[in-house]
């Protein structure tokens, strides 16, 4: 795996040691069990895989190299490079401006962007339309493009499906930058429809089998299908790809559900003619992080800390994986631990930050599960661990244990 040149303040003095040790013990990544770090008065269960992935480190390297090599130039990001407030705020402090918000809303008018400006395309990629707009202004869309290679792999698979006359079903959130980009690239070669979850997949399956009429398709999936989409003919041959930050297990469930529907409609003996195998598009990092989070279950943890940006899709899914098993506190950094017995955390259902008092039971030795999203620097995880340790009198020192 390539080693990236990222700023030192994103690196870790604690987590890096744990990760390196696990890497030496398990180089083939077959063991997803967490590492147990016992400080005497508190124990941490550290997920096997978490934090910066290949695509994120690649984007960060390109961004800071661009800053260092282009002093005095206007440097823009199309939108947030990754969904982490600490990283994006750091980039702003280095003078980078953001053209749009996460949903395509404009901060800076396009007519203010000139041909000699630098525009960095984020790890999520961008739409064909925006890329064409940048090119029309004479802006380089190759040198400063940080699109994750695993996102591009999804685009390439979708293009291949389209050339073979398959309609592409995209499992994703239709407002997310990556899904908007994937949809834009996909419709250049194929009919396409976006579905958010297994529930919407069930509706699509019933449309395929004829249990729901085609008029209802347009109502259920308004704003989520390609131009001139005809559910009667365009759902005869399908393949499933995903927004790489979605739950990989749910993508697989969706594919299985739709495969079964196609089998009922056209006969299982004809399945290869009507359903494409697209399992090779799942992102390895998302899958590893999710499996590692799932392995935190049934370990006797009193609660979990999931660390990352509140608008991070992949981090939200880690919360979903754990919240049925134990209390989960989704925090963006150590500053959310506001008192020995109080923590501010994001509720993904209420979609707001709330405060929980007495989150640590007095007089107990808590076992705390810890993981973070793919856009969260390990240095932030370090800071959270250090802050948590400070709450426990008599805890062994980090140097002594690590």
Catalytic residues: 178
Q: How far apart are CA 82 and CA 87, in angstroms?
A: 8
Paired residues of 369 in beta bridges: 45, 304
Give me the sheet containing 97-98, strands edge to edge. Answer: 97-98, 75-77, 118-120
Query: Whose structure tokens read 């013990």?
Result: 25
Q: How far apart are CA 237 and CA 3, in angstroms?
A: 41
- Look up residue 221 and give its two tokens: 């999936």
The burial of 111, by beta-carbon neighbours within 10 Å (0-12 exposed, 13-18 middle, 19 or more buried), is given as exposed
- Look up residue 171 and give its two tokens: 């499992």
Mode of pairing for the β-strands spanning 303-307 and 192-195: unpaired
Distance in angstroms between the alpha carbons of the first and the last residue of the chain = 25
Distances (CA, A) of 70 to 49, 74, 77, 278, 326: 35, 8, 14, 41, 48
Nearest to 181 by CA among 245, 238, 277: 245
The answer to whether 325 and 256 are in contact (CB under 8 A) is no
The answer to whether 87 and 60 are in contact (CB under 8 A) is yes
Q: What Rg, from alpha-carbon coordinates, does the chain have?
A: 23
The answer to whether 330 and 306 are in contact (CB under 8 A) is yes
Q: How far apart are CA 351 and CA 368, in angstroms?
A: 24
């Amino acid at each position: 795996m390539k080693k990236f040149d990222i700023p030192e303040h994103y690196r870790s003095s604690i987590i890096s040691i744990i990760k390196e040790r696990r890497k030496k013990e398990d180089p083939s990544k077959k063991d997803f069990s967490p590492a147990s770090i016992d400080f005497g008065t508190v124990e941490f269960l550290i997920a096997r895989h978490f934090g910066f992935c290949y695509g994120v480190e690649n984007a960060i390297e390109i961004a800071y190299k661009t800053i260092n090599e282009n002093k005095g130039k206007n440097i823009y990001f199309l939108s947030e490079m990754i969904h982490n407030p600490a990283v994006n705020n750091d980039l702003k402090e280095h003078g980078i401006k953001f053209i749009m918000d996460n949903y395509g809303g404009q901060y800076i008018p396009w007519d203010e962007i000139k041909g000699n400006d630098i525009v960095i395309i984020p790890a999520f990629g961008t739409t064909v339309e925006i890329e064409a707009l940048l090119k029309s202004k004479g802006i380089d869309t190759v040198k400063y493009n940080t699109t994750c290679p695993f996102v591009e792999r999804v685009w390439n698979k979708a293009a291949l499906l389209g050339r073979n006359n398959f309609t592409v079903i995209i499992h994703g959130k239709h407002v997310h930058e990556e899904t908007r980009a994937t949809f834009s690239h996909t419709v250049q070669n194929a009919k396409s429809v976006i579905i958010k979850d297994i529930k919407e997949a069930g509706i699509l399956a019933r449309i395929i089998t004829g249990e729901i009429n085609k008029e209802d398709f347009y109502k259920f999936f308004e704003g989520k299908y390609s131009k001139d989409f005809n559910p009667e003919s365009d759902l005869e041959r399908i393949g499933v790809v995903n927004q790489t930050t979605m739950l990989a297990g749910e993508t697989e469930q969706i594919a299985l559900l739709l495969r079964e529907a196609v089998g009922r409609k056209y006969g299982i003996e004809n399945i290869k003619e009507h359903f494409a195998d697209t399992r090779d598009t799942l992102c390895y990092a998302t899958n590893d992080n999710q499996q590692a989070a799932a392995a935190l279950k049934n370990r006797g943890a009193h609660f979990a800390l999931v660390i990352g940006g509140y608008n991070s899709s992949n981090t939200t899914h880690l919360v979903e994986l754990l919240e049925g098993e134990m209390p989960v506190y989704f925090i963006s950094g150590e500053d959310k631990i506001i008192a020995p017995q109080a923590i501010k955390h994001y509720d993904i259902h209420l979609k707001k930050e709330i405060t929980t008092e007495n989150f640590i039971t007095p007089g107990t030795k808590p076992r705390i599960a810890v993981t973070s999203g793919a856009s969260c620097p390990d240095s932030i995880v370090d800071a959270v661990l250090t802050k948590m340790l400070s709450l426990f009198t008599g805890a062994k020192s980090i140097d002594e244990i690590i």
